[in-house]
Structure 1
């Protein structure tokens, strides 16, 4: 619905989205996150990432389990301390302690995967949504703020839900309460970890439509962590694909999914309906081990292009085995790929229509 249509329907001027500042609202440069594991080894969960999130943008961070996407999201929330690299919010270095970190966590909010686990079963909906206000010492107009947040998330009339407990709500309603708990603080960014993974298929579309509406009406930026490329195709402006701690392909969602260039992305896309990749691709070999990053391209032990001889035919097989690839840049309007074969061959020309 356009702003003009909304104005005609309600009889009131349509609310205009907030003006979006220039430059990224959230940035990572050279980000590394290491963890110690048994035996004195180090697991490189995030192994060099450059990433920008623009105001009002939905960026999907995709990859299989263990690729580092959740750790990257937690680092960008300030919940995990980076081993190296920098994080910036609105062009300034992210605070790591005190009042600065508290203010940052008000501006950048988390939406968890499981709404049942995220909500205290002994707290009413009102208490759940008001909790953030109380933590941050916001005491003025608490009731109005809670009601507005619930209404924005489609729980209307909001007062009807104030005294309800989580077990009295449907799964979709619980997830809306979780999102309302983030929105009540009027953040600039939401980081959502698998926001619809635990919901029924009939409810998933409603929550995704809600995220899109919040982006369009309030200029809210969102980093959505997912293993589901179908979800990314539905809502994301841009897609970043991670493998073994590093982004291996990124760019506008339609470009990446219509013409995937990295063999790993091609394998992920191959199982989508109407995929531009002919036939499902099954990856061989063991899942990646973050304590032992392979030499050369980190994907080469499982790479179908290397196994089939395509890399050798293109003359890049030695590079795949021995030459490390650089960290991908963070430019938002470019389709980047970290692959010796992809950079040595022209990109495929494929079209893939998005359902409206």
Structure 2
């Protein structure tokens, strides 16, 4: 992993959605700093509804932030049609469900060639499509040109989606739950493919997932998201073997191989339109509920003082008063 300037950088990104019938706006992304460097794979993990997919869409320019900025290769992202079209050649999205991503009436060739046609590619289209399919592990590529999605396995369909992203030779992939809809036997193959693409092409990737096991197998760095904020980040080995935030600990505790008893969080995540004061996790925090925060002298801070936004630099960081009290 390089220590050069970030390829993609977010600073203070906020995305809100209007409430219904005069209700407060939902703060889906509520202040996020995040860096991704060339050749780096970052896993963005958290429960459903924590804002990770909305953040990914904002990083791709699919949603314009209400505040903050996104920069790519040192330049702030612009939201004009022409600027976004140029950006999409360099940053591509791989969606969770390949069946929903592929038009059932289009052949594999047309599905992969679509991006080339949108961007007015002037080279040899057939060679570009064949090269992308081959890099995605569909060989010989010509054998797949005239097939339709329903004639492929789930893993093959996901490879076609990846080929459609690769055909434009991007520098960054944003993969939203890239193996969630696949059988366990195929998941490892797709993860190995993403790692090989990083090695061979120098691709950076943001992998959005709720699966910490996937993060362990593929990521260089992990960012844990809760209620619109990143609450812990660092090298994947550090965060997943010695987590400091109680939320990260709870997520890890329910993995099949985790030692000890699972930590069951009480209640549902708060409404993003009504984010609690203080630490946004405090209403569900087992450390606060169990009295450990009180013994560390930080219970009042947990309830009343926001631990702040992590700086996104990639160093190990945690947004937790209890962790900073020297207890972990």
TM-score scaled by length of structure 2: 0.98
1:299 aligned residue: 281
2:324 aligned residue: 343
Cα offset, 1:287, TM superposition: 2.3
2:14 aligned residue: 32
Deviations 1:185-223 (A, max 9, x none): 000000000000000000000000000000011100000
Give runs of aligned pairs for residues 316-355 of structure 1, distance below 5 A.
316-332=298-314, 334-347=315-328
RMSD: 1.3
Counterpart CA distance in 1 for 2:254 and 2:158 is: 28
Counterpart CA distance in 2 for 1:132 and 1:105 is: 10
Counterpart CA distance in 2 for 1:340 and 1:21 is: 29
2:204 aligned residue: 221
How has the CA–CA distance of structure 1 residues 20 and 240 changed in structure 2, closer, same or farther, with 3 Å as cutoff? closer
The secondary structure found in structure 1 opposite 2:208 is strand
2:28 aligned residue: 45
Give runs of aligned pairs for residues 124-273 of structure 1, distance below 5 A.
124-273=107-256
List runs of 5+ in structure 2 lacking aligned partners: none
TM-score scaled by length of structure 1: 0.90
How has the CA–CA distance of structure 1 residues 20 and 136 changed in structure 2, closer, same or farther, with 3 Å as cutoff? farther
- Residues 296, 327 of structure 2: 8 Å contact kept: no
- Residues 20, 219 of structure 1: 8 Å contact kept: no
The secondary structure found in structure 2 opposite 1:65 is coil
- Residues 21, 55 of structure 1: 8 Å contact kept: no
Cα offset, 1:329, TM superposition: 1.2
Counterpart CA distance in 1 for 2:6 and 2:81 is: 24
